[in-house]
């Protein structure tokens, strides 16, 4: 079945592609807006950076879990039903977050835990909606365009940076003029759009399901060592891309001494990603998907190191450009490699890749980078002035995995000094402010520097995979021949 596009196998392939684009756009808008309102949450509710990182982490953990679970049963439940569920969860996520301020103001005093809980569950529902949608759209696009999967998956995932651009721009122009609640609700606009585009549409099943490949055979693909390596590497992709994106505008805003410039820089890099993802196909044809991934990891490592030592706006723009070039193709090209090499896995293998990446970003990236900022900022301030640290430290310790617990800086206390005009500060606050600014900046720089080790490790794995496939005669996409138990993967 062709719709006039030589790459498509369903008459409504293009409509399904753009419906998927809008679903990922909705996730990107929410993510972009959230990056701009993290400071509002810390200041309004007195959260530490680690607590803010935990809330954003929940917004990625649910994403990952649901991609995994949704992909297991996507063909049996039906893609249409999963998209309806995604639509409902997106609205529930908006409603729960919007209840945070009333909950915080309830009772005799401020209820920080109530606000934290509602934001946490709001982010979980938002992420469940994202995960259900992505459990559908990744295998759907790979199925609709089997002759050029990597190219069309990159186009599909151009919706992510497009959403980041729109969400971040909205925050940039709305900050100080409208509440964070109104900004957060903006992601419901593309949610309504993808809901309307999915109405009345038929959804083709994955190539594996069409060929009658059984559930057990799909799961057996995970015995392949190459797939296990790809899963490990994509966990690193989730950490370095989505984990870093949760914080990058805040950190660069500190470097450039302007939160608004940090947001605008994030908009610029996201716009660059959006444009570049439409040209992935020609690049892949020249250097192969793994060659593109290797080059991307090298640039990602270089860009993060450059950002960690950048001074001033120009240096930040140059460094962020290098970082953006590095991260642009990582996520969708990894999905393309898995769908190219393991088509018998159907929705399950491509879903596992996306799920592992999101889980890593949620459990490790968001909280881990927040912890690193807290740790190095508090250590810096303790060394420079124990008295100032004592004035601004949080009431509770923060911890991350097996690393030592630390007591970070209280977001509300910092906000009083950092957000108050200079002429309204007390003499003591004026003396303390430079130290707090220096500590925040030091923590952000160190977090980026350490995070750069992740893409360096990824580059080593990609190089090993390139050498492996070269020894096997080169990287080639494979397809399924035959059906049922006799189905085979052939180049």
Q: What is the pLDDT of residue 394?
A: 82
Compute, in degrees rounded to 10, the torsion defined by CA atoms 4, 5, 6, 9: -90
Confidence of residue 490 (pLDDT cuts 50, 70, 90): low
- Is there a domain that residue 1 lies in? no
Report residue 353 as tokens. Answer: 């890749």
Helix (H, G, I), strand (E, B) or coil at 486: helix
DSSP structure string for 308-353:
HH--HHHHHHHHHHHHHHHHTTHHHHHHHHHHHH-GGGHHHHHHHH
Per-residue confidence at 332, pLDDT binned at 50, 70, 90? Answer: very high
111: in domain:
yes
* Any domain includes 267: yes
- pLDDT number for residue 3: 41
Count of positions (residues) in the chain: 491
How much is the average pLDDT of 100-122? 84
Residue 247 has pLDDT above 80, yes or no: no
Instruction: Tell me how many domains the chain contains.
Output: 1
Question: pLDDT band at residue 273, thresholds of 50, 70 and 90?
Answer: very high
427: number of Cβ within 10 Å: 7
Tens digit of each residue's pLDDT (9 = 90 or more) over 123-156: 889 989 998 999 999 988 988 888 888 889 999 9
Q: Is pLDDT at 109 greater than 50 in this prediction?
A: yes
User: Do the domain assignments include residue 3?
Assistant: no
The owner of tokens 């929410």 is: 30
Pick 339 or 108 by higher pLDDT: 339
CATH of the domain at 23: 1.20.1250.20
pLDDT at 49 over 80: no
In a domain, 114, yes or no: yes
Q: What is the pTM of this model?
A: 0.82
Enclosing domain of residue 216: 13-490
Residues contacting 484, CB < 8 A, separation 6+: 211, 212, 213, 214
In this prediction, residue 192 carries a pLDDT of: 93
Instruction: With both helix axes pointing from N to C terminus, report the angle between 411-418 and 427-451 in degrees, rounded to the nearest 10.
Output: 120
- In this predicted structure, the answer to whether residue 64 has a pLDDT above a threshold of 80 is no
In the predicted model, what is the mean pLDDT of residues 252-273? 86
At residue 2, the pLDDT reads 37
What percent of the chain is modeled with pLDDT above 70? 95
| 172 assigned to some structural domain | yes
Per-residue pLDDT tens over the stretch 454-484: 999 999 999 999 999 999 988 888 877 766 5
Return mean pLDDT, the chain. 86
**Residue 96: its pLDDT value, please?**
93
Alpha-carbon distance of 231 to 11, in angstroms, equals 33
318 pLDDT more than 90? yes
Structure-token pair, residue 142: 């790979």
What is the CA 368 to chain-centroid distance, rounded?
A: 14
**C-alpha dist (Å) from residue 489 to 1, 7, 120, 159:** 22, 20, 43, 31
Residue 385's SS3 state is coil
Does residue 4 sit within a domain? no
Among residues 272, 294, 280, the alpha carbon closest in space to that of 332 is found at 280
Confidence of residue 488 (pLDDT cuts 50, 70, 90): low
Under 8 Å CB-to-CB from 376, ≥6 apart: which residues? 442, 443, 446, 447
Q: Please list the residues that pair with 481 across neighbouring strands.
A: 488
Q: Would 2 be classed as within a structural domain?
A: no
Q: What is the pLDDT of residues 410-436, one digit of tens each?
A: 877 887 888 778 888 888 888 888 898
């Amino acid at each position: 079945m062709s719709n006039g596009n030589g790459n498509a196998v369903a008459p409504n392939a293009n409509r399904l592609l753009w419906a998927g684009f809008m679903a990922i756009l909705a996730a990107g808008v929410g993510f972009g807006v959230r990056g701009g309102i993290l400071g509002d949450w810390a200041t309004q509710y007195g959260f530490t950076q680690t607590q803010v990182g935990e809330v954003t982490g929940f917004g990625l953990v649910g994403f990952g879990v649901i991609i995994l679970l949704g992909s297991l049963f996507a063909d049996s439940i039906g893609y249409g039903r999963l998209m309806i569920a995604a639509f409902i969860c997106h609205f529930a996520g908006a409603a729960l977050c919007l209840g945070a301020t009333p909950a915080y103001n309830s009772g005799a005093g401020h209820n920080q835990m109530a606000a934290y809980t509602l934001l946490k569950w709001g982010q979980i529902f938002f992420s469940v909606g994202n995960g259900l949608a992505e459990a559908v759209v990744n295998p759907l696009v790979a199925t609709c365009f089997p002759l050029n999967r990597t190219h069309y998956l990159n186009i599909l995932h151009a919706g992510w940076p497009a959403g980041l651009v729109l969400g971040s721009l909205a925050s940039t122009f709305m900050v100080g003029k409208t509440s964070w609640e109104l900004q957060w609700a903006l992601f419901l606009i593309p949610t309504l759009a993808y809901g309307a585009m999915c109405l009345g549409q038929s959804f083709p099943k994955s190539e594996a399901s069409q060929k009658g490949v059984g559930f057990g055979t799909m799961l057996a693909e995970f015995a392949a060592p190459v797939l296990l390596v790809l899963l490990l590497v994509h966990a690193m992709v989730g950490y370095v891309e989505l984990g870093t994106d949760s914080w990058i505008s805040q950190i660069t805003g500190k470097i450039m001494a302007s939160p608004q410039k940090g947001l605008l820089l994030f908009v610029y890099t996201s716009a660059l990603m959006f444009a570049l993802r439409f040209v992935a196909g020609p690049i892949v044809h020249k250097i192969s998907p793994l060659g593109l991934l290797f080059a991307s990891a090298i640039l990602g490592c270089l860009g993060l190191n450059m950002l960690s030592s950048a001074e001033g706006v120009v240096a930040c723009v140059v460094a962020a450009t290098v970082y953006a070039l590095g991260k642009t193709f990582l996520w969708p090209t990894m999905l393309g490699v898995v769908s190219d090499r393991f088509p018998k896995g159907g929705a399950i293998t491509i879903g596992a890749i996306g799920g592992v990446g999101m889980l890593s970003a949620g459990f490790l990236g968001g909280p881990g980078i927040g912890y690193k900022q807290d740790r190095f900022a508090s250590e810096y301030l303790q060394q420079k002035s124990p008295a100032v640290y004592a004035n601004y430290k949080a009431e509770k310790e923060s911890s991350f995995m097996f690393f030592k617990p630390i007591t970070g800086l209280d977001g509300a206390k910092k906000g009083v000094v950092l957000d108050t005009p200079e002429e309204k500060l007390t003499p003591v606050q004026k003396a303390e402010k430079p130290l707090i600014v220096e500590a925040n900046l030091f923590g952000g720089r160190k977090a980026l520097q350490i995070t750069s080790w992740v893409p360096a490790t990824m580059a080593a794995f990609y190089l090993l995979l390139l050498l492996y496939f070269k020894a096997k005669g080169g990287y080639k996409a494979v397809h399924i021949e035959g059906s049922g138990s006799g189905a085979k993967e052939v180049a």
